[in-house]
Amino acid sequence: MTLAYDASGDGPALVLLHSAVCDRRMWDPQWPVLVDAGYRVVRCDFRGFGGTPLPDRRHNDAEDVLELLDALGIEQAALIGASYGGQVAMEIAARRPDRVSAMALLCASLPGHEPTDELRAFREREDALLEAGDIAGAVELNVDTWLGPDADEAAREKLRGMQRRAFDVQLAAPEGAGRNKVEIDLSTIKAPCLVVSGPHDVADFRQIAARLPGLLADARHLELPWAGHLPNLERPAAVTDLLTDFLRETVPAG
């Protein structure tokens, strides 16, 4: 199996896709509740994150997830994606709309989005820290940027561990590793979609969330007034309830 993953529960399939500063552990607060709600829940680490190494060749995360679903015998699943995981979810739903029953996108990124000066400045600062060998500083930059004001110290420490793991894996990547980008047509996505954003997030992700209902056939946008970029870590119970309610409406269990 290419991707490290966990799978548990019975009922309609549900796949949790992590952000690019986390790994599958970001879903620890939601995992047991969604299993108990009657879903067959799968969470995986993309290549270069958590327990999945980077190969010495280029890869595509959406294809990796579809391969995992095939291996598990899952023909159709609801997808919950955070940030980059939301982008992967949209790619899966655009390329294989028959495989996706519903989507929840938490502060998702979007292919082709032109970054704001704010996001460019973050990337330049991160690159400078990594080039200087200050990995701890780069980790703290990510923690400070991507967690909103409601995140407690436990959430901050959790993100530190996941981001440090990602840097350790990615900085040791073999030559030739990297992602293959695929152009997608969002108009092919038919699954009902909940788009979530937060006013304490970087402007880019607020802009994307506002655009998506006009790009997807069946999407609604919900802004959480307290949220930053990783709301499921900032107020875990509130986001778990939100996701459970959405799933009951779109992919009821039992």
Does residue 107 contact residue 26 with C-beta atoms inside 8 Å? no
In terms of Cβ atoms closer than 10 Å to its own Cβ (0-12, 13-18, 19+), residue 117 is exposed
- Is the pTM for the entire model greater than 0.85? yes
Q: Mean of the per-residue pLDDT values for the chain?
A: 95
Model confidence over 46-65: pLDDT tens digits?
Answer: 999 999 998 877 889 999 99
* CA atoms within 13 Å, Cβ hemisphere of 9: 22
User: In the predicted model, is pLDDT for residue 182 greater than 80?
Assistant: no
Enclosing domain of residue 41: 5-250
Question: How would residue 195 be classed by pLDDT, with cut points 50, 70 and 90?
Answer: very high
- What pLDDT sits at residue 172? 82
**Residues with Cβ within 8 Å of residue 243, at least 6 apart in sequence:** 30, 34, 80, 104
The residue written with tokens 């946008």 in the block is: 221
How far is residue 88's CA from residue 43's CA, in Å, rounded to a whole number?
13
- Pick from 30, 47, 19: which is nearest to 105 by CA? 19
Question: How would residue 178 be classed by pLDDT, with cut points 50, 70 and 90?
Answer: low
**184 or 212: which leads in pLDDT:** 212
Read off the CATH number of the domain in which 53 is found: 3.40.50.1820
- What pLDDT sits at residue 1? 55
Question: How would residue 34 be classed by pLDDT, with cut points 50, 70 and 90?
Answer: very high
Counting the structural domains of the chain, the total is 1
Amino acid residing at 113: H
